Structure 1
């Protein structure tokens, strides 16, 4: 054996001894435990997890709010009676109420009086309205049994027979549009969530390749002297799992703080127009325990995805090295 071979063999053994170490000794990690690239990756993962958590929480809020709207609308239907010359509005409203109360599936009916109708129109037409001078339809609010709803077609036919001026509105068209809008928002949110996770995976791939490039000589030495690809990949996997969990926890915690702060502000400012608009769109702006659990699952998913992506990238890179090395030799 030549002197160069002895020197090369001694060098390889020393590098392997420093990296792997003896049993009970602290091993020198292949990947540096802390560097600028690692800090940047933690920041990127934190931002991605923050955006993903906001998206997930927003989707859950919209879905819950839409379900609440749909349930509230499904509990009530409306009878509208247009004013006409010679029509006794009070008597007509009473007949319509009596006719609808006799039908199965109806739990109650109340006539919307002049004061309540004026309050509904006040934001658009101002105060002091004289409803007798305006062709404003009068309303009967009908409560229905959600567990055993009535036959709306039969209900409409009976009402038309009793009160020809009445028109039944079951809000079905509005409910259909509401459900379609909620589904579109949910699908858009899930698509954004998928894009954020895909961007996170690509970021981890580039970071892993960068770490491998900076430690290429050490990795090749280990690999050529017999270190299995799984051992090398596990070193990177452990390192990037830690980075992924730190970043994901930071981003998820920041998102939870945002939801908690906005929810607290909404509850503390219930009388303001801004809070009323938020409550109308998103309810109480509280994601509840299911939302917190979903964000925790998202954080764990991001950490596991980071580790798995790093491992797969290392294995693929080592396989590429094995394919290139015979050609170079």
Structure 2
């Protein structure tokens, strides 16, 4: 009968060169999977928030470059002459690049989403619109144009610079981004809690090894570093997997959006979501979340081990 060597006689956890924390176990794989799922969800929230922020910036930029003059019908006045006068005043204002007068039929079509199509609006006092494109320089004198309209067409023409709409759009975008950041923070907290339970389970399963290490002179920092390295590796694995999956989802969504834009509803999709491209900030945020998940895993495991050893 062969005689066992010293290494074979020792338990697996006490053999030379054996890691303090098991490198491959069902619990470790489960924790890596949980971190990957949580990182994936957090990265999706961050990417969605970036898409909303980018789209809101595009919308605000487009709307901020255009203002509208509304000319209301009035008894005893020629509305076509009033529209022509408002257009002339706009063209004479510095900073106005181009103007466009909406015909009566075009103004009536703008009401179709609310009133429906096929209605006879000829008897309704539908206002006429003049859209103004603003030039980059010189700065448009909207205050002067508003005063000129008030003097030339009192009670008939008004200037809308869309400031209220822009404010509401900015509030909506900031709220969505804030919610996304809050969800990311909650997901990272959930990751930390999962690591706490996993670390305490690993410490309980390796209690005898920890006691032997204490007996031979190992201090708490040595033991904590061993657990931190192991859980940092698990967090890094899960973070990389979750971030890569999120990037794949955004790449697939961008591809589908390009295909949809070639269809009948392409203009509506592009107007709502833009190019569905998260940009370099979005990609950086997704990768950063993976790194943060790894760092959180390592730090939380170290703190949990030191608290357990006390």
Q: State if a TM-score over 0.5 links the two structures.
A: yes
1:169 Cα deviation from its structure 2 partner: 0.9
**CA displacement 1:266-303 (0-9 Å, x = unmatched):** 11112344x65543333221102221122112111111
CA RMSD of aligned residues (A): 2.4
Matched, 1:284 2:275: yes
The verdict on how the C-alpha distance between 1:148 and 1:60 changes in structure 2, with shifts beyond 3 A counting, is farther
Matches within 5 A, 1:181-200: 181-200=172-191
Matched, 1:71 2:61: yes
How many residues end up aligned between the 2 structures?
300
- Secondary structure of the residue aligned to 1:77 is strand
Q: Give the corresponding residue for 1:9.
A: none
Q: 2: distance between equivalents of 1:229 and 1:147?
A: 67
Matched, 1:217 2:214: no
Q: Give the corresponding residue for 2:241.
A: 250
- Secondary structure of the residue aligned to 2:111 is helix
Q: 1: distance between equivalents of 2:174 and 2:195?
A: 32
TM-score of the pair, normalised by structure 1? 0.84
The verdict on how the C-alpha distance between 1:113 and 1:187 changes in structure 2, with shifts beyond 3 A counting, is same
Q: Give the corresponding residue for 2:302.
A: 311
Q: Give the corresponding residue for 2:23.
A: 33
Contact residue 89 and residue 145 of structure 2 kept, 8 A: no
Matched, 1:91 2:81: yes
**CA displacement 1:27-49 (0-9 Å, x = unmatched):** 10011111111111111101110
Contact residue 66 and residue 134 of structure 2 kept, 8 A: yes
Q: Which of 49, 63, 81 is equivalent to 2:71?
A: 81
1:171 Cα deviation from its structure 2 partner: 1.0
Q: Which of 169, 183, 206 is equivalent to 2:160?
A: 169
- Secondary structure of the residue aligned to 1:28 is coil
1:50 Cα deviation from its structure 2 partner: 0.8
Q: 1: distance between equivalents of 2:284 and 2:25?
A: 32
Unpaired segments ≥5 residues, structure 2: 1-9
Q: Which of 195, 219, 230 is equivalent to 1:228?
A: 219
Unpaired segments ≥5 residues, structure 1: 1-13, 22-26, 321-329
Q: 2: distance between equivalents of 1:108 and 1:267?
A: 32
1:114 Cα deviation from its structure 2 partner: 3.5
Q: Give the corresponding residue for 2:257.
A: 266
TM-score of the pair, normalised by structure 2? 0.88
Q: 2: distance between equivalents of 1:213 and 1:146?
A: 68
- Secondary structure of the residue aligned to 1:87 is coil
After TM superposition, the structure 1 stretch with the greater mean CA deviation from structure 2, 43-52 or 104-113, is 104-113
- Secondary structure of the residue aligned to 2:100 is strand
Contact residue 118 and residue 129 of structure 1 kept, 8 A: no
- Secondary structure of the residue aligned to 1:315 is helix
